[in-house]
Structure 1
Amino acid sequence: MIVNEQEEKIIEWTRLKFGLAHYDLGRSSYSRRVTLFNETVYQFCMEWFPKEASIVEEDLNPEGTAVIAIDLSTNQVESAIFVGGETYAKAGIVFQQRDVESIIKWIEAETNLIYGRQFQLDSHKGGKYVFKECYKGIDISPPGYIELKLNSDGELVFYSVYGQFPTEEVVKEEEYTLTVKQVKKTAQAQIRLIHDPSFKDEKIYPTYALEEIYITNDLSKTIPFEGFTDRGGRIELEELLVWSEPLQNHFTQSELVLIEDISAKQAFTNEPSADIEPINESEGTAYIDVVKTFLRQVYPAYSGEWLLTSFNRDTGYIHANLKGSKSHSFIFQRKLKVIIDPHSLEVITYIDNQLLSDQFKTYDSPEEVVLSKEEAYEKIKEFIELKPCYVYDDDTQKYILGAMIDSSYGVDAHTGEVFLLADRE
């Protein structure tokens, strides 16, 4: 394993910090991710093996292995996991005091974050502590978390930091003023009739429920609840895919390589990931042709039944995202992801959620819908909640104050009964 000077400094710092005198560095590699702000962040990842242990299989780590990732943009620990909750570290990270206040002080020193301003306690049970991202005590969306686990001796066996934890430069501060009465029209528009399967009863129920959505504090815009996935270069589409002739040639899937081969030079020069590159019009046209050719091979009888909704870059591939074109109220909508090699313009593989829908074919059919959407809203309106949060806004690239409109309750569209949605899972 070739180690350069920068790597050597990180390795020795990690060895001392985590007390890894009884460990050998077995493997190391680089990884990267694209943030909400379309920035590339690199990590140096190390797998430390206890001296007594042997590597049985290449992809398996023995108990006690320390898997540690360092964020190269901050030189801070992004994650530290001792496999199986076992540690052979000596003079590593040990907490004599295991109260929440002591854990908070350690996290503040480790991350340079301020408790109550950028993170707050979410849960604490035994030796497990979970903190969630916030801004001055108000939740952040999409959320971030800091998780920490100690063994019975107070030794650190798990630590992970995930999220943006924004500073005031990227937050548009306001005084929260929203009320449920103000968002009445938006809430009414979010009532959906869904056919919801109950695993417990093995039956499909016709249910009215509120589809979550974010609304800004000034009521000027809404932001979809699922608007934060697939951060890389992305284009939105609304392309109905139609063809007249199927293709007879057989489609063969290829291996999907999800681990990028990243060099030290790329990492330490912070080379921008190719995933942040926009997808231009000519590329989009070419990818549409690739998807259509694939569908003619694999779904020849489905002409006009797939809607192409977006393309995005992910780990060097192009992901084409499709959904069924026919509207229906079943909670699990038909979805298809087609993964394309942008260089060869060949489909590598695909993911179809058909199996998810098929498992409910034996369930009892839903009863007749008796209630109207308006009647359902009247029954559920007293259970509608506003959950204040700072929401990331793609248009301004800032976190803006708003709230999630949500409800934990649904209405049976046949009987009119109001019930807790969790009770029907």
Structure 2
Amino acid sequence: MHKRVQKLIDVTADELGLDKYYLKRHSFVKEENPNEGVSYELTMEWFPNEAAETEEGLNPPGTAVVDVDLHSERIKKIIFVNDISYAHAEALTVIHQTSEQIIEWVEEMTGLEYGRQFQLVEESKNEMHFRSAVDNIPVYPGGNIDITFNEQGQLTLFSIHGSFPTEDQVQWEPFALTSEIVEPIALDHCKLMEIPVENEQKWISVYGTSMFFLTNNGGKTISYDQVEKSIIYCNSVEPITWSHTSSASTISLEKIDLSPEISESEALSNNKEIDRKRSISKDEQTRIITEVSRLLQQELPDDNGQWKLTTIQQEHNYLFAILHPVKKDFRIIGPKIKVIMDSKTLKPLNYMDNRQLLDVFRDFKEAEMPVISKGEASEKLRSYLEISPVYVYQKGRYMLCGKIECSYVVDAVTGEMISLDE
């Protein structure tokens, strides 16, 4: 074991008061953050003294699972299995007494400032949930901090995950969006959709507008997926086709390992790295479509011309080419294929087809044809639009934007307003 790793293990045991525990095992994981790059964590599993693994191979009650960031050396996660803790650190047993004590402890554990970098979003008797913020304004993609106590007031869960902006990353400006600016843009996003109603085993046609972001000057819209997912290419409108002659070579499908676990040497040699989102050139786009075409021809030969490439996402060392049907479909849950490709060679490795999962809707009654127009629906939705300031991560900076959403849709047949919460 490397001496640096041993030091982190000793410090963790001392800080949490794990005298009644022994370290059963440890491992290393690679964590990817779309805003902050790649980081490496040490995961430790501490068993209570005299305890052993269960017959099912699960950790016994009271086990402490702790993750520590190798770069900052800060604890990122603490979990006590089955809400049972034998840790004697005083901080873990007294902070539950007041919300102020919990917030102070979170600030100490994370190095973040309450109000400036994170805000409270939910609180109950034994839980507190926080979200990343800039001066109490939410952030996208966001970060989360979760705290849980057992009935004895002992901390049994602490977790921090995601992005928490620093001041130098924020583009400061006053919020300028008004209803007059937002409404025409938001209502232009109104579209016809079909949503499933499970208890009635049917699809219904509705008009609604998906959540999106609008830059503070009103000049650009940004979709939720563009912000929250590692999308690096969007919207090829051409169908993916192939000739009926067989492909020159067979594509061997490979097992894909998305496990974040890595070796100690890799974790220590790559203490902190910036993993910027790669770009896709026009030549690479053409190659990707060609390779996807080869895979479809081999695996789904009857689907010639039925799919188009809509987005490319980056995850680990892979690219995910996302395909949707060429034929327009209004259903919010529809067919999709993910082709998994090597990020460097663009070689197809495997694919996932969700159509089998959609069999649950096979017996649902078809949606009725719309009666009211998009214009009529837009007017009904106007008073239900919600506009709130948020900071959105774009090109290395957090820009002030408006989050535009509507929690209601309009029944396209009856004109009735329907709450999405229903």
TM-score (norm 2): 0.91
2:356 aligned partner, one-letter code: L
2:338 paired residue number: 337
Going from structure 1 to structure 2, the CA distance change for 1:356 and 1:191 (only over 3 Å counts) comes to farther
Q: Distance in 2 between matches of 1:284 and 1:266?
A: 32
Deviation digits for residues 135-159 of structure 1, max 9, x if unmatched?
1011111221110001122211111
1:61 paired residue number: 59
Q: Distance in 2 between matches of 1:174 and 1:345?
A: 41
2:366 paired residue number: 365
Q: Is the 8 A contact 1:206 1:367 kept in 2?
A: yes
Going from structure 1 to structure 2, the CA distance change for 1:58 and 1:18 (only over 3 Å counts) comes to farther
Q: Distance in 2 between matches of 1:7 and 1:199?
A: 51
1:192 paired residue number: 191
Q: Distance in 2 between matches of 1:391 and 1:52?
A: 49
Instruction: Tell me the SS of whatever aligns to 2:227.
Output: coil
Q: 1:85 is matched with which residue: 80, 83, 86?
A: 83
Q: Distance in 2 between matches of 1:406 and 1:323?
A: 24
Q: Distance in 1 between matches of 2:415 and 2:235?
A: 38
Q: Is the 8 A contact 1:251 1:298 kept in 2?
A: no
1:122 aligned partner, one-letter code: V
Name stretches of at least 5 consecutive residues in structure 2 with no aligned partner.
none
Q: Is the 8 A contact 2:40 2:272 kept in 1?
A: no
Going from structure 1 to structure 2, the CA distance change for 1:251 and 1:266 (only over 3 Å counts) comes to closer
Q: Is the 8 A contact 1:246 1:300 kept in 2?
A: no
1:213 paired residue number: 212
Q: Does 1:309 find its partner at 2:335?
A: no
Instruction: Tell me the SS of whatever aligns to 1:94.
Output: helix
Structure 1 position 291, deviation (Å): 2.1
Q: Does 1:379 find its partner at 2:380?
A: yes
Going from structure 1 to structure 2, the CA distance change for 1:154 and 1:334 (only over 3 Å counts) comes to same
Residue range with higher mean Cα deviation, 51-60 or 104-113: 51-60
Instruction: Tell me the SS of whatever aligns to 1:90.
Output: coil
Structure 1 position 295, deviation (Å): 0.7
CA RMSD, aligned part only?
2.6
Structure 1 position 315, deviation (Å): 2.5
2:262 paired residue number: 262
1:322 paired residue number: 323
Q: Is the 8 A contact 1:370 1:413 kept in 2?
A: yes
1:46 aligned partner, one-letter code: M
2:418 aligned partner, one-letter code: F
Name stretches of at least 5 consecutive residues in structure 1 with no aligned partner.
none
Q: Distance in 2 between matches of 1:392 and 1:77?
A: 25
Residue range with higher mean Cα deviation, 312-321 or 279-288: 279-288
1:306 aligned partner, one-letter code: W
Q: Does 1:224 find its partner at 2:211?
A: no
Q: Distance in 2 between matches of 1:153 and 1:285?
A: 61
Instruction: Tell me the SS of whatever aligns to 2:379.
Output: helix
Going from structure 1 to structure 2, the CA distance change for 1:359 and 1:247 (only over 3 Å counts) comes to farther
2:307 aligned partner, one-letter code: W
Going from structure 1 to structure 2, the CA distance change for 1:336 and 1:184 (only over 3 Å counts) comes to same
1:241 paired residue number: 240
Structure 1 position 263, deviation (Å): 3.3
Instruction: Tell me the SS of whatever aligns to 2:302.
Output: coil
Deviation digits for residues 16-46 of structure 1, max 9, x if unmatched?
1122122221222221223233522111111
Correspondences of 1:3-18 after superposition (within 5 Å): 3-18=1-16
Instruction: Tell me the SS of whatever aligns to 1:318.
Output: strand
Deviation digits for residues 164-210 of structure 1, max 9, x if unmatched?
11111111111112222211221111101001111122221110111
Q: Distance in 1 between matches of 2:55 and 2:178?
A: 57
Q: Distance in 1 between matches of 2:265 and 2:276?
A: 18
Instruction: Tell me the SS of whatever aligns to 2:19.
Output: coil
Q: Distance in 2 between matches of 1:287 and 1:370?
A: 42
Going from structure 1 to structure 2, the CA distance change for 1:308 and 1:131 (only over 3 Å counts) comes to same
Instruction: Tell me the SS of whatever aligns to 2:78.
Output: strand
2:420 paired residue number: 421
Q: Distance in 2 between matches of 1:399 and 1:317?
A: 26
Instruction: Tell me the SS of whatever aligns to 1:74.
Output: coil
2:393 paired residue number: 392
Indicate the structure with greater helix content: 2
Structure 1 position 307, deviation (Å): 1.1
Going from structure 1 to structure 2, the CA distance change for 1:252 and 1:410 (only over 3 Å counts) comes to same
Identity among equivalent positions (%) equals 33
Structure 1 position 51, deviation (Å): 2.4
Going from structure 1 to structure 2, the CA distance change for 1:184 and 1:278 (only over 3 Å counts) comes to closer
